Amino acid sequence: MDRPQSHTIRDRAAIVGIGQTAFSKFSGVTEERQAAEAITAALDDAGLTLADVDGVARFDIENVNELQLVHGMGIPHLRFFAGVPSGGGAVAGTLVLAAMAVATGQANVVVCYRARNRGKQSSHGAKPLQGGRPWAKHAATLTDFYQYHVPFGLITPAQEMALIYRRHMHEFGTTTEHFGAVAVAQRAHAARNPRAVMRTPLSLADHQASRWIAEPLRMLDCCLETDGACAVIVTSAARARDCRQPPAYLLAGAQAEGPIHIRMADYLMHWQDHTAGAFVAEQLYGMAGVTARDVDAAMLFDHFAPAVILSLEDYGFCARGEGGPFVASGAHAWPHGSIPVNTHGGSLSEAYIHGYNHILEGVRQIRGTSSCQVENCEIVLVTSSNTDPTGGVLLRR
């Protein structure tokens, strides 16, 4: 597609601040408190203050909203606020929104964040998405698309994803040892990361011995359940150069869904060439004028270990169906792999902040401050959940 460069978001915005709370299994504080901590930390990192903020981009299921930010934290006023749907599919989309806002002058400084109490003990309120497990809160009657799978006992994300990964195993010969190669490498990354919740080394044997959750998924294929918050500050490329930290420029950003996606089942019908992730990749690389070979590190949404295998295929790091052998070769493992993935430990071992901690690690790689730093890291891919309407961004130095 021919488009004048100035009409895209390419290089027009940058992440200038990152902030987070401690990650834990039980924070003992509210999501609102965690959001406040992460946002102020991100502003401090950028050398900005709450008075500079005039925009917000967030997950639409985020519990901490604009009212709480303005009236609770004392942001003077907002002139841009927006949310991205689809849970973990929203990660990169929030950055796309923020970049669009600063590129068009709708906002100067946009805060993007995710605050989440999902540790088992965290029940601060009874909202469906607050604390605990959303799937455990189905009503006695089903009025939406849940009626086509919940009555059959297909309830949890792990169960839904298990269907997709089983089919991948059938079509391409992927094995549960391949899933384990993802979990083991990410734990090794987390072992070097003082922020990570799970740092005890993990072997493939440990993975294979862990209990079934929904075959072929084992417990060690599943992301953690974490309390914590992450925030990033996005501003224009011009303003970014005056901030405290080296900018991580948004080289490209995209969202995608399609062509058909009724929950997870239709994902299975089209994945050879039509996954939403592959469509994001096409847009990202087209906007940036790069290929997968130019990407130095990838922070891939990993609600379950095999999601990394599918994303490596979607984003062109290996051919469709070759993701299993690709991770078995160690291609995703820092420091020797060709494309180090989730160098912070990801959702499997650092924390599950709905994928938002992946953005922070992407920025650290660009700054050169990761605990698993990729040498001469110039371009980093960060993705949203690839089994939802999804998205991705390319960050550059």
Contact flag: residue 200 with other proteins (CB under 8 A): no
Q: In the set 26, 208, 266, 289, which binds other proteins (CB under 8 A)?
A: 266
Query: CA-CA distances (angstroms) from residue 159 to 121, 202, 265, 291, 352?
Result: 23, 24, 12, 34, 18
CA distances to 107, 270, 301 from 151, rounded to whole Å, are 46, 25, 28
Q: Examine residue 212 and tell whether it contacts other proteins (CB under 8 A).
A: yes
Placement of tokens 């550059």 in the chain: 396
CB 341 within 8 A of CB 308: yes
Which one of 5, 147, 203, 369 is in contact with other proteins (CB under 8 A)? 147
Nearer to other proteins, 67 or 140 (CB): 140
Nearest to 307 by CA among 381, 387, 361, 382: 387
String of contacts with other proteins for each residue 66-105, x by CB under 8 A: ----------------------------------------
CB of 47 to other proteins, least distance (A): 45
Whichever of 49 and 147 has its CB closer to other proteins, that residue is: 147
Does 176 participate in binding other proteins (rule CB under 8 A)? no
Alpha-carbon distances, residue 14 vs 98, 109, 275, 288, 370 (angstroms): 9, 10, 28, 14, 18
What are the tokens at 340? 């180090």
Q: 278-317: buried (b, 16+ CB within 10 Å) or exposed (e) per residue?
A: bbbbebbbebbebebeebbbbbbbbbbbbbbbbbbbbbbb
Is residue 389 within the footprint of other proteins (CB under 8 A)?
A: no
* Stretch touching other proteins by CB under 8 A, among 110-118, 205-213, 282-290, 337-345: 205-213
Instruction: Report if residue 209 touches other proteins, rule: CB under 8 A.
Output: no
The yes or no reply on residue 140 touching other proteins (CB under 8 A) is yes
Sheet architecture: strand order including 55-59: 80-84, 55-59, 109-117, 227-236, 13-20, 248-256, 390-396, 379-383, 297-299
Site string for other proteins, 222-261 (x = CB under 8 A): --------------------------------------x-
Residue 146 is a binding residue for other proteins (CB under 8 A) = yes
Interatomic CA distance for residues 70 and 32, integer angstroms: 12
158-166, 183-191, 344-352, 368-376 -> range binding other proteins (CB under 8 A): 158-166
Q: Could you tell me the smallest distance in angstroms from the CB atom of residue 391 to other proteins?
A: 22
Residues 225, 222: Cα–Cα separation, whole Å: 9
Does position 173 interact with other proteins (CB under 8 A)? The reply is no
Neighbours of 260 (CB within 10 A): 11
27, 159, 226, 342: which one contacts other proteins (CB under 8 A)?
Answer: 159
205 binds other proteins (CB under 8 A): no
Binding to other proteins (CB under 8 A): which residues in 109-138?
133, 135-136, 138
* Site membership for other proteins, residue 293 (CB under 8 A): no
Q: Does 292 sit near other proteins (CB under 8 A)?
A: no
Name the residue nearer to other proteins (CB basis): 129 or 155.
155
Cβ 303 vs Cβ 310: under 8 Å? no
Block residue for tokens 């990660």: 91
Assess 29 for contact with other proteins (CB under 8 A): no
User: Which residues in this chain contact other proteins in the complex, by CB under 8 A?
Assistant: 133, 135-136, 138-143, 145-156, 159, 162-164, 166-167, 170, 211-217, 260, 262, 265-266, 268-269
